[in-house]
């Protein structure tokens, strides 16, 4: 989608702090980090929000990549938090499905 910020980031048309990319996902640093490490993982396919996902395999793929990026790419061996905000009431501001990975410090509740 050409008018989607995260589609444009995944396509390399908007600069980002890329940490990982493969055929299915793109991961980059959040522009307003809420922890020492704050990375967003997005599927390259445009889906607006978690509730819109039709294919459960997409969710399996996405969480598998989140695991790989957090454990192997970012090296968050002490632990991390994974968050997906769903629609405006859940705090979602960018309507392209994304998973936040937060780590690098002991996170408060
Ligand atoms: P959410 O509130 O779950 O939709 O999260 C959207 C996140 O995208 C926020 O944490 C923003 O700081 C982040 N964000 C917005 N624009 C950019 C950008 N151009 N590059 C990196 N992160 C961004
Ligand atoms: Zn998009």
Please report the sign of the dihedral spanned by the C-alpha atoms of residue 88, residue 58, residue 60, residue 9.
negative
- CA 92 to ligand 1 center in whole angstroms: 9
Active site (annotated) includes residue 98: yes
Minimum-distance ligand to the CA of 50?
1
Q: How confident is the model at residue 3 (pLDDT cuts 50, 70, 90)?
A: very high
Q: Residue 43: give its domain's CATH number.
A: 3.30.428.10
Q: Examine residue 74 and state whether it is found in any structural domain, yes or no.
A: yes
In this structure, is residue 109 part of a structural domain? no
Is any ligand 1 atom within 6 A of the Cβ of residue 8? no
Q: Is residue 1 pLDDT above 80, yes or no?
A: no
> In which domain, by residue range, is 19 found?
5-103
Do 19 and 29 form a contact (C-beta atoms < 8 A)?
A: yes
Is 108 domain-assigned?
no
Looking at the 3D structure of the chain, how many domains does it have? 1
pLDDT of residue 8: 98
Contact by Cβ (8 Å): 74, 37:
yes
Q: Rounded to whole angstroms, how far apart are CA atoms 26 and 34?
A: 20
Q: pTM above the 0.95 mark? A: yes
């Amino acid at each position: 989608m050409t008018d989607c910020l995260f589609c444009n980031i995944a396509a390399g048309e908007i600069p980002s702090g890329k940490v990982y990319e493969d055929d299915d996902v793109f991961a980059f640093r959040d522009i307003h980090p809420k922890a020492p490490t704050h990375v967003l993982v997005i599927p390259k396919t445009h889906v607006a929000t978690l509730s819109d996902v039709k294919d459960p395999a997409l969710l399996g793929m996405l969480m598998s990549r989140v695991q790989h990026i957090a454990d192997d790419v970012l090296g968050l061996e002490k632990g991390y938090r994974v968050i997906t905000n769903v629609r405006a009431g859940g705090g979602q501001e960018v309507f392209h499905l994304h998973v936040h990975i937060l780590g690098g410090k002991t996170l408060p509740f």
